[in-house]
Amino acid sequence: MGVGAEFGYGRAGLTRQNDWPVGDDKVEVGWTLARDSWGKGYATEAALASLAFGFGTLEVSRIISLTTPHNVRSRAVMERIGMQEVATAVWRGIEHVCYALDRSSWPAAGVVVPEVSVRPA
């Protein structure tokens, strides 16, 4: 999902990370925002919409999210959307933490899921 004009607010969405070395679950939810879009909840909202699409439309059984241990803002997004830390591993030469959420636990208690509309191709 991409939003905004010119440089944009940022992006969030699902990516298959086939080279993540732990387990069989490779579908990752990720996000990056322009600096002046931080602190407004955009990453959380876009991440929840991505999870809704992954669990609801694609029927993925488990979605992961990967970041470096010191990336506290990204870890905070993972925790806000109901994910839990499940693993650490070196990925692409850098230590990463892995958070995960199962479809059976979606949506996590207290999480308000934005409506997702799917545009036909």
Q: Which of 52, 71, 107, 108 binds ligand COA (CB under 6 A)?
A: 71
Residue 103 CB: number of other CB atoms within 10 A?
15
CB of 54 to ligand COA, least distance (A): 17
Q: DSSP string spanning the chain?
A: -EESSTT-SEEEEEEE-TT--SSS--EEEEEEE-GGGTTSSHHHHHHHHHHHIIIIIS--SEEEEEE-TT-HHHHHHHHHTT-EEEEEEEETTEEEEEEEEEGGGPSPTTPPPPP------
Between 43 and 60, CB nearer to ligand COA: 43
Closer of 23 and 39 to ligand COA (Cβ): 39
Site track 79-118 with ligand COA (rule: CB under 6 A), x = hit = ----------------------------------------
- Would you tell me how many other CB atoms lie within 10 Å of the CB of residue 1? 14
Binding mask 17-56 for ligand COA (x = CB under 6 A): -------------xxxx----xxxxxxx------------
Closest approach of Cβ 58 to ligand COA, in Å?
21
Applying CB under 6 A, the residues found at the interface with ligand COA are 10, 30-33, 38-44, 67, 71, 73-74, 77
